[in-house]
């Protein structure tokens, strides 16, 4: 009994002693552990052995792109041709007018009755019979409208048409076999050029001097085949406003006597005391084939495809890129058949249109509304349209003999919010301006005007040119990135820059909503041109959380040289130093 | 990454929870009537014969380390969290040694008996023993807590070792004259499993000009039916060890060991004793090796980057190649079975001195130095204690210890009457515990047993 009691006591003592050796600490509950973990990064330098970075590695030259390396320089270049529609000035067709005939009575000595008996003796005429015709004229008027706009004024009409005047002594066919017109002149419009079948036409007076004309039978015919009409002399009236033409005058017999001699008589039997002398007119249609005067002509049908802006260096093709080019050039060649054959020069304006999706088009036109495509009759005349004349010997390619045309605004063609998606080229009002022409065929296809163009824009950023480059690198955010909290990010390197630009680099971080993360300081870096192994240091400091990306803003100031593939920004010993932490649960 | 960190933490917790280092309880070294005292020094014999209650005759479980849960877990605003929490200051690293130890032992007696015969005291024991030890470099914690910066992180010597074996021990102690008593035991070792995993090199140098890493790791595993699982690293097209599996179980080796001990009592107050335990070996039947095959290195010097998309070393492609190559340095190659191998047991040297108070000889003071010889896992401790034996059936002892694992407090109580023996003690009291009962320090042990003396 005593032993059992002892054992019982011992067990209690031992159990109590065991329990007493430990005590529960309520602060440690391993069934509910907060596993939040912060992994820190302290000024950790990430060594990146990056090869030399050359400019050509930023500019990807595509075979079909519009950036090419020419003579070691990056050049935005595009070429093409253009042509007009066929040049035709519509013909003028003036229908023949109707001219009223004239009938005059000739008094003969006979009573005019047909001798029916011998008892009634006729009164014998006194030969020769002379009858003064007097001035017998009739009016005519040619009229036409819908004359082409291209015809501004008319001095000369070239057309083939006839004027015919017949004199017919009616009712004397059986009594006379001939008669004579003496002192005979015709009245025609002035200013005609042509040939008459009889007489001599004086274009100054419009009088045809015929003199004496023996007429066999009873009909005499005058005909003039006309080739040209001197509009002023002839009194042709052209109204440009109404695009109409009117040719109004009179024709007929100016002077003349009818003389019938005894020898002209077949028989006196039935000789009437009077006879009708009819004057009949016939004027042909005037189909104008040529004119002289003033012409203008709109050259139509020129379509030049837009130049897509592709192959542009990434650094230049961002939305916020804003570039001013100093002396880009557009070369134009031109072939003008009207100049060659007729001495007519053409003129045109030119507009380049920068086209950006979702933005209004930006138009850039020549300093002057137009420039003359005057080539002195040569084929393939050449022009250089640029802000500044590159100077003889500096014109691009085949355009060695180009004439310079000022185009100041061209420098701004790439300026704006981002580079244009394409550049449109349009010739503004290409035309043959009003010019005097001596002889110009109308109603005839005179061929086409044609030409070529080349945009030649070296990526030459002269002093004062500026690239405002903004690149948004985003899309970094994800659940892991959200756990990062960056305190500072430093980029250090040795940089050599033989690019012709100074670059000022700044930037700021953005969160997943695209908003700038506040209270973060970016220490920008000024990279001068021509430096060699110069320390580069960019630092971003602050509390950067929920990072989704970085907006970099680089402002580059050109120093007046052209970008070349063999120019480099060389980064050596590039080191990225980062401090921050990664907060997660495991 | 999360998976690996979590696995590491949980593994550390599991090791901490496992138990301990001393396979025997040193607090019992000087306890009169402690039935299994012969396991601490084979020269010790009992006054009574005994037989243990099967499976509960002597249970030792201990954990010991220089890093504990209190170094891993913290309370922040009432919430338990880990040292990785940003609210935990990095100053906790001051409490972590350059090379932390963490381990556990267990000694489970299936059967044990002792009897007087052959002019001495004889013992027969069948035990199952196991131990697990690990070395954890401080750099692993500083790497995780202080973060990455430009310096060299040497995580070498991150090693894990474990043994599981059974032993059949036959012991005998013998009195020589009136001052000396000697004893010894022969042990037949039945190998269960042995695994040695060593990160011989794990160096990460984050230089400003280049980063480099060198690894050298090897796993030697002697487990019956063990095979490594392998997969193909698609990045390197290398076959690498991704796990291990054992398709059968059983004994996998045989060995022998001896325990030797002596006790010298120059007078009635003093006693000097010494014991060398587990001096022996195990020959394992197989040795499954997975290895990096020597040093594997990686350096960023070997890579250069180009921003030219057409270049063969375009930055995107080169980074991908670099990551692929980096993955190769932690690939372990299955070397297969390298044949039998022999390992030594972890021997223990105990040296003790005991003094009985002349005015009250039931109160004794003892000083014990115990040293475990186990290569990198070798440890030692000094334990000074007082033991009292007020009545014959009851022995009590208390002690303080200092050594490789720091300071500790131990105690032992033993009740021993004819027909019943119960003892309970601890070499390391538990101190503060988590709500789950795990000691916040990695140190704690318990020794419990019920035997039948006769």
Query: Could you give the C-alpha distances from A73 to A61, A64, A69, A454, A455, in angstroms and in order?
Result: 12, 17, 5, 17, 15
- What is chain A's mean pLDDT, rounded? 81
Is any Cβ of chain B less than 8 angstroms from the Cβ of A200?
A: no
* Mean pLDDT value across residues A457-464: 62
Query: Could you report the per-residue pLDDT of B172-213, keeping only the tens digit for each?
Result: 999 999 999 999 999 999 999 999 999 888 888 888 777 888
Query: Could you report the per-residue pLDDT of A206-261, keeping only the tens digit for each?
Result: 999 998 999 998 899 999 999 999 999 999 999 999 999 999 999 999 999 989 88
* Mean pLDDT value across residues A458-473: 58
| A586 contacts in chain B (CB < 8 Å) | 1-3, 5-6, 9, 84
Nearest CB among A24, A40, A57 relative to B433 is that of A24
In angstroms, the CA B417 to CA B414 distance is 10
Which chain B residue has its CA at the smallest distance from A16's CA?
A: B424
Is B305 within 8 Å of A30 when comparing Cβ atoms? Answer: no
Is B424 within 8 Å of A18 when comparing Cβ atoms? Answer: yes
Task: Name the helix (H) or strand (E) containing A19.
Answer: helix A2-20
Looking at residue B285, the DSSP 8-state letter turns out to be S
Most confidently modeled range among A2-6, A116-120, A571-575, B136-140: B136-140
Contact B345, B189 (CB under 8 A): yes
Is A28 within 8 Å of B435 when comparing Cβ atoms? Answer: yes
The answer to whether the Cα torsion of A221, A226, A230, A234 is positive or negative is positive
Which of these, B22, B20, B32, lies nearest to B369 by C-alpha position?
A: B22
- What is the structure's pLDDT at A460? 60
Contact B135, B197 (CB under 8 A): no
Q: To probe the interface with A, which of B4, B83, B418, B424 has the most A CB atoms within 10 Å?
A: B424
Q: To probe the interface with B, which of A10, A484, A582 has the most B CB atoms within 10 Å?
A: A10
Helical segments of B207-294, H only? none
In angstroms, the CA A181 to CA A185 distance is 10
Confidence of residue B146 (pLDDT cuts 50, 70, 90): confident
How is residue B26 written in tokens?
Answer: 């040193």
Cβ neighbours for A385, distance < 8 A, ≥ 6 positions apart: A329, A330, A331, A332, A350, A366, A371, A404, A405, A406, A407, A410
Confidence of residue B19 (pLDDT cuts 50, 70, 90): very low
- What is the structure's pLDDT at B1? 36
Contact B261, B351 (CB under 8 A): no
Confidence of residue B13 (pLDDT cuts 50, 70, 90): very low
Query: Could you report the per-residue pLDDT of B365-415, keeping only the tens digit for each?
Result: 999 999 999 888 899 999 999 999 989 889 999 999 999 998 999 999 999
In angstroms, the CA A139 to CA A145 distance is 20
Nearest CB among B210, B438, B439 relative to A47 is that of B210
Confidence of residue A379 (pLDDT cuts 50, 70, 90): very low
Contact A382, A332 (CB under 8 A): yes
Q: To probe the interface with A, which of B69, B70, B71, B150 has the most A CB atoms within 10 Å?
A: B150
Is any Cβ of chain B less than 8 angstroms from the Cβ of A583?
A: yes
| B434 contacts in chain A (CB < 8 Å) | 24-25, 28-30
In angstroms, the CA A325 to CA A412 distance is 6
Query: Could you give the C-alpha distances from A249 to A98, A192, B104, in angstroms and in order?
Result: 12, 12, 138
A216 versus A322: the higher-pLDDT residue is A216
| B420 contacts in chain A (CB < 8 Å) | 7
End-to-end Cα spacing for chain B:
60
Confidence of residue A471 (pLDDT cuts 50, 70, 90): low
Confidence of residue A105 (pLDDT cuts 50, 70, 90): confident
Confidence of residue A304 (pLDDT cuts 50, 70, 90): confident
Query: Could you give the C-alpha distances from A320 to A315, A316, B310, in angstroms and in order?
Result: 10, 9, 27
Is B422 within 8 Å of A584 when comparing Cβ atoms? Answer: no
Query: Could you report the per-residue pLDDT of A7-28, keeping only the tens digit for each?
Result: 566 666 666 666 556 788 888 8
Confidence of residue B124 (pLDDT cuts 50, 70, 90): very high
Is B211 within 8 Å of A47 when comparing Cβ atoms? Answer: yes
Residue with the two structure tokens 């930023």: A58
Is A33 within 8 Å of B444 when comparing Cβ atoms? Answer: no
Contact B98, B137 (CB under 8 A): yes
* Mean pLDDT value across residues A88-94: 92
Task: Decide if pLDDT at A488 tops 60.
Answer: yes
- What is the structure's pLDDT at A531? 86
How is residue A184 written in tokens?
Answer: 């005979």
Confidence of residue A296 (pLDDT cuts 50, 70, 90): very high
- What is the structure's pLDDT at B166? 95
Task: Decide if pLDDT at A426 tops 70.
Answer: yes
CB-neighbour burial class of residue B63 (10 A; exposed 0-12, middle 13-18, buried 19+): buried
- Calculate the CA A264 to chain-centre distance: 76
How is residue A479 written in tokens?
Answer: 């659940």
Segment 265-304 of chain A within 8 Å of chain B by CB: none
B164 versus A574: the higher-pLDDT residue is B164
Residue with the two structure tokens 């998976």: B3
Q: ipTM value of the model?
A: 0.75
Which chain A residue has its CA at the smallest distance from B299's CA?
A: A47
CA angle A553, A559, A563 (to 5 degrees): 80
Nearest chain B Cα distance for residue A1, angstroms:
13
Is A29 within 8 Å of B150 when comparing Cβ atoms? Answer: no
B313 versus B418: the higher-pLDDT residue is B418
pTM higher than the cut 0.80: no
Is A37 within 8 Å of B315 when comparing Cβ atoms? Answer: no
Which of these, A236, A278, A272, lies nearest to A258 by C-alpha position?
A: A278
Contact A472, A549 (CB under 8 A): yes
Residue with the two structure tokens 């249609």: A285
Instruction: Name the 3-class secondary structure at B346.
Output: coil
- What is the structure's pLDDT at B11? 43
* Mean pLDDT value across residues B308-328: 75
In angstroms, the CA B388 to CA B413 distance is 10
Instruction: Name the 3-class secondary structure at A337.
Output: helix
Task: Decide if pLDDT at A481 tops 80.
Answer: no
Q: To probe the interface with A, which of B205, B307, B317, B409 has the most A CB atoms within 10 Å?
A: B307
- Residue A187 bridge partners (DSSP): A207, A252
In angstroms, the CA A312 to CA A59 distance is 7
Write phi, then psi, for A384 (nearest 5 degrees).
-120, 115
Task: Name the helix (H) or strand (E) containing B69.
Answer: helix B69-72
Is A37 within 8 Å of B5 when comparing Cβ atoms? Answer: yes
Is A35 within 8 Å of B422 when comparing Cβ atoms? Answer: no
Is B148 within 8 Å of A40 when comparing Cβ atoms? Answer: yes
- Would you call the peptide bond into B438 cis, given omega within 30 degrees of 0 as the criterion? no
Write phi, then psi, for A146 (nearest 5 degrees).
60, 35
In angstroms, the CA B167 to CA B184 distance is 15
Q: What is the 3-state secondary structure (H, E, C) of A503-557?
A: EEEEEEEEECCCCECCCCEEECEEECCCCCCEEEEEEEEEEEECEEEEEEEEEEE
* Mean pLDDT value across residues A45-60: 56
Is A51 within 8 Å of B211 when comparing Cβ atoms? Answer: no
Q: How many CB pairs under 8 A join A and B?
A: 179
Instruction: Give exposure, A116-135, as e/b (b: 16+ Cβ within 10 Å).
Output: eeeeeebeebeeebebebee
B408 φψ region: left (φ > 0), alpha (ψ -120 to 50), beta (else): beta
How is residue B193 written in tokens?
Answer: 């499993």
Instruction: Name the 3-class secondary structure at B344.
Output: strand
How is residue B114 written in tokens?
Answer: 């002792």
Nearest chain B Cα distance for residue A53, angstroms:
7
Q: Are strands A136-144 and B99-117 parallel, antiparallel or unpaired?
A: unpaired
Q: Which of A103-112, B32-41, B192-201, B253-262 has the lowest mean pLDDT?
A: A103-112
Which of these, A291, A268, A272, A247, lies nearest to A150 by C-alpha position?
A: A291
Cβ neighbours for B224, distance < 8 A, ≥ 6 positions apart: B193, B246, B248, B249, B250, B251, B252, B285, B286
* Mean pLDDT value across residues A96-113: 78
Is any Cβ of chain B less than 8 angstroms from the Cβ of A5?
A: no
Instruction: Give exposure, B20-32, as e/b (b: 16+ Cβ within 10 Å).
Output: bbbbbbbbbbbbb
Confidence of residue A2 (pLDDT cuts 50, 70, 90): low
* Mean pLDDT value across residues A138-165: 94
Is B148 within 8 Å of A41 when comparing Cβ atoms? Answer: yes
Q: Which of A447-451, A473-477, B429-433 has the lowest mean pLDDT?
A: A473-477
Nearest CB among A21, A24, A37 relative to B82 is that of A37
């Amino acid at each position: 009994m005593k032993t059992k009691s002892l054992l019982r006591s011992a067990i209690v003592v031992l159990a109590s002693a065991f329990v007493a050796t430990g005590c529960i600490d309520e602060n440690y509950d391993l069934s509910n552990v907060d596993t939040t973990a912060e992994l820190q990064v302290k000024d950790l330098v990430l060594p990146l052995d990056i090869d030399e970075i050359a400019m050509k590695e930023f500019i990807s030259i595509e075979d079909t792109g519009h950036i090419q390396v020419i003579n070691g320089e990056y050049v935005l270049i595009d070429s093409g041709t253009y042509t007009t529609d066929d040049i035709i000035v519509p013909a003028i067709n003036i229908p023949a007018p109707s001219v009223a005939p004239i009938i005059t009575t000739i008094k003969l000595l006979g009573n005019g009755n047909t001798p029916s008996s011998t008892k009634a003796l006729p009164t014998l005429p006194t030969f020769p019979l002379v009858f003064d015709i007097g001035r017998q004229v009739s009016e005519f008027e040619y009229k036409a409208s819908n004359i082409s706009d291209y015809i501004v004024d008319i001095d000369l009409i070239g057309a083939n048409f006839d004027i015919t005047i017949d004199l017919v002594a009616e009712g004397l066919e059986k009594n006379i076999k001939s008669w004579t017109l003496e002192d005979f002149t015709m009245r025609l419009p002035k200013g005609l050029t042509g040939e008459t079948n009889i007489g001599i036409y004086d274009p100054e007076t419009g009088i045809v001097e015929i003199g004496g004309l023996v007429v066999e039978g009873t009909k005499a015919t005058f005909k003039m085949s006309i080739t040209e009409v001197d509009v002023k002399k002839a009194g042709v009236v052209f109204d440009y406003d109404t695009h109409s033409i009117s040719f109004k005058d009179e024709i007929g017999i100016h002077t003349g006597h009818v003389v019938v001699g005894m020898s002209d008589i077949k028989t006196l039997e039935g000789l009437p005391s009077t006879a009708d002398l009819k004057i009949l007119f016939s004027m042909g249609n005037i189909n104008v084939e040529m004119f002289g005067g003033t012409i203008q002509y709109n050259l139509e049908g020129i379509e030049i495809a837009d130049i897509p802006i592709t192959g542009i260096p990434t650094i230049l093709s961002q939305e916020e890129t804003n570039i001013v080019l100093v002396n880009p050039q557009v070369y134009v060649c031109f072939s003008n058949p009207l100049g060659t054959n007729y001495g007519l020069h053409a003129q045109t304006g030119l507009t380049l249109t920068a086209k950006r999706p979702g933005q209004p088009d930006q138009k850039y036109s020549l300093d002057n509304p137009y420039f003359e495509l005057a080539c002195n009759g040569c084929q393939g005349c050449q022009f250089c349209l640029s802000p500044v004349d590159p100077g003889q010997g500096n014109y691009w390619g085949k355009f060695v003999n180009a004439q310079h045309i000022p185009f100041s605004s061209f420098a701004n063609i790439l300026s704006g919010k981002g580079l244009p998606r394409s550049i449109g080229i349009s010739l503004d009002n290409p035309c043959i301006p009003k010019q005097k022409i001596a002889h110009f065929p109308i109603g005839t296809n005179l061929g086409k005007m044609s030409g070529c163009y080349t945009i030649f824009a070296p990526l030459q950023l002269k002093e004062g040119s500026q690239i405002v480059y903004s690149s948004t690198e985003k899309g970094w955010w994800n659940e892991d990135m959200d756990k990062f909290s960056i305190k500072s990010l430093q980029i250090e390197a040795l940089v050599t820059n033989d690019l012709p630009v100074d670059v000022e680099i700044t930037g700021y971080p953005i969160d997943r909503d695209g908003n700038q993360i506040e209270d973060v300081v970016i220490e920008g870096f000024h990279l001068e041109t021509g430096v060699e192994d110069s320390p580069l240091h960019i630092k971003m400091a602050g509390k950067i959380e929920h990072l989704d990306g970085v907006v970099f803003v680089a402002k580059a100031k050109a120093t007046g040289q052209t970008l070349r593939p063999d120019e480099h920004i060389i980064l050596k010993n590039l080191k990225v130093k980062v401090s921050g932490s990664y907060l997660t649960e495991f | 990454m999360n998976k690996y960190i979590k696995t590491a933490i949980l593994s550390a917790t599991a090791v901490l929870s496992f138990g301990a280092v001393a396979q025997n309880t040193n607090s019992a070294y000087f306890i009169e009537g402690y039935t299994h005292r012969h396991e601490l020094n084979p020269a010790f014999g009992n006054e009574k014969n005994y037989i243990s209650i099967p499976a509960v005759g002597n249970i030792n479980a201990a954990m010991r380390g220089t890093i504990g849960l209190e170094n891993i877990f913290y309370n922040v605003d009432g919430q338990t969290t880990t040292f990785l929490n940003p609210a935990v200051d990095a100053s906790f690293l001051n409490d972590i040694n350059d090379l932390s130890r963490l381990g556990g032992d267990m000694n489970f007696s299936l059967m044990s008996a002792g009897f007087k015969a052959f002019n001495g005291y004889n013992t027969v024991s069948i035990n199952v023993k196991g131990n697990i030890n690990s070395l954890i470099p401080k750099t692993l914690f500083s790497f995780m807590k202080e973060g990455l910066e430009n310096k060299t992180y040497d995580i070498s010597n991150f090693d894990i070792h474990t043994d599981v074996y059974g032993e059949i021990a036959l012991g005998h102690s013998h009195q020589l004259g009136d001052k000396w008593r000697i004893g010894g035991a022969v042990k037949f070792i039945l190998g269960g499993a042995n695994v040695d995993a060593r990160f011989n090199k794990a160096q990460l140098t984050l230089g400003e000009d280049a980063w480099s890493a060198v690894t050298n790791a090897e796993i030697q595993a002697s487990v019956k039916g063990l095979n490594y699982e392998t997969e193909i690293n698609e990045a390197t097209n290398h076959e690498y060890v991704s796990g291990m599996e054992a398709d059968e179980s059983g004994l996998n080796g045989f060995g022998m060991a001896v325990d030797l001990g002596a006790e010298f009592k120059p007078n009635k107050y003093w006693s000097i004793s010494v014991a060398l335990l587990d001096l022996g070996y195990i020959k394992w039947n197989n040795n499954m090796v997975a290895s990096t095959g020597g040093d594997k290195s990686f350096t960023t010097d070997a890579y250069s980057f180009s921003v030219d998309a057409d270049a063969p070393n375009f930055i995107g492609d080169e980074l991908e190649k670099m990551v692929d190559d980096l993955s190769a340095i932690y690939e372990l190659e299955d070397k297969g079975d390298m044949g039998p191998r022999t390992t030594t047991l972890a021997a223990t040297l105990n040296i003790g001195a005991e003094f009985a108070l002349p005015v009250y000889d039931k109160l004794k003071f003892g000083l014990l130095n115990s040293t475990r010889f186990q290569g990198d896992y070798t440890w030692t401790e000094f334990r000074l204690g007082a033991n009292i034996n007020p009545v014959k059936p009851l022995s009590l002892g208390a002690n303080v210890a200092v050594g490789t694992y720091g300071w500790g407090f131990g105690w032992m109580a033993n009740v021993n009457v004819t027909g019943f023996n119960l003892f309970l003690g601890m070499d390391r009291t538990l101190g503060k515990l988590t709500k789950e009962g795990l000691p916040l320090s990695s140190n704690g042990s318990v020794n419990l047993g019920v035997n039948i003396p006769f």
